[in-house]
Every structure is written in structure tokens, then in C-alpha cells.
Amino acid sequence: MVMDINEIREYLPHRYPFLLVDRVTELTLGEAIVAYKNVSINEPFFNGHFPHHPIMPGVLVIEALAQACGILGFKTVNKLPADGYVYYLVASDNVRFKRPVMPGDQLVLEARVERTKRGIWKFACRATVDGELICEADITCAERKVA
């Protein structure tokens, strides 16, 4: 299953500059997702992080992983933000960064469902660039009705 940016926008409420998933290349409902973010020098955060040595902030790598988790959750339960649902990032545990993400990198986002119960989802996540581990984390999200 592949999702382009138009379908991603149906499953994530985020918009520029906080939509951090460009494409989904693999998705197995209830199990796992592989997506990516193309990192461009035109990203607004590079103006201040850092002007002479631009690197993607680690918190945005975690946010990109959490967005991939949200897509997997929404697709699995067949719900949409348009129906009044949202996935909140409620925890990131065991986070480890291995190297910085630079302009020109394609950040590959992988998430695997560890468990889910009553709208609380726990995912094992990793981000890579060219097969090299960038970050790994356990991410917890909560599905909630907001409207």
C-alpha cells in the first residue's frame, strides 16, 4: 500500500510547516508503516538551527515519526481527522539519536505497533538515512475524538 501526499493530508491534520511525512511506501494495517520525509534546505527551521551548520532538530525527527504512527493508527481503525479524531503524541521513551539529519537527506520513518488498548497505541520506531540509523524511540499516541 502506498500513499501520496494527497492521501496523507486526509489522514493527518498537520499542514505546512508541520506536515513532516511526504510519502508512505509500505503500510500493513495494525502492524507497521514505512514512510519518508525529504529534507530540504528550504525548511523554515534551518534559518535558525543552525545557519552555518544546518541540522534538522531532533524533536522534529520525533514529530515525523509520531506522524507516521498517526497515519498507521488512523488507517488501521478507519477513522479520519475530518471525522473529528486526532492522535496526540503522549510519550517518547528510550529516545536515542545517532547522527544529525542534514539538508538533502531522505529521512526514512519506520514504526511498528507494539500494542494498543482503548485508543492508546505504543510503537517501536526508527528513522534512517541511506540505511544508517539516525534515531530510535518508543512512541505512545492517544486516539481522541475532539469535535
Q: Just list the catalytic residues.
A: 49
| Residues, the chain | 147
Residue 68: exposed, middle, or buried by beta-carbon count in 10 A (0-12, 13-18, 19+)? buried
Q: Which three cell numbers stand for residue 55?
A: 541540522
106 near 37, Cβ under 8 Å?
yes
85 near 28, Cβ under 8 Å?
no
CA–CA distance, 23 with 2 (Å, rounded to integer): 8
Short-list 33, 19, 18, 25, CA closest to 3? 25
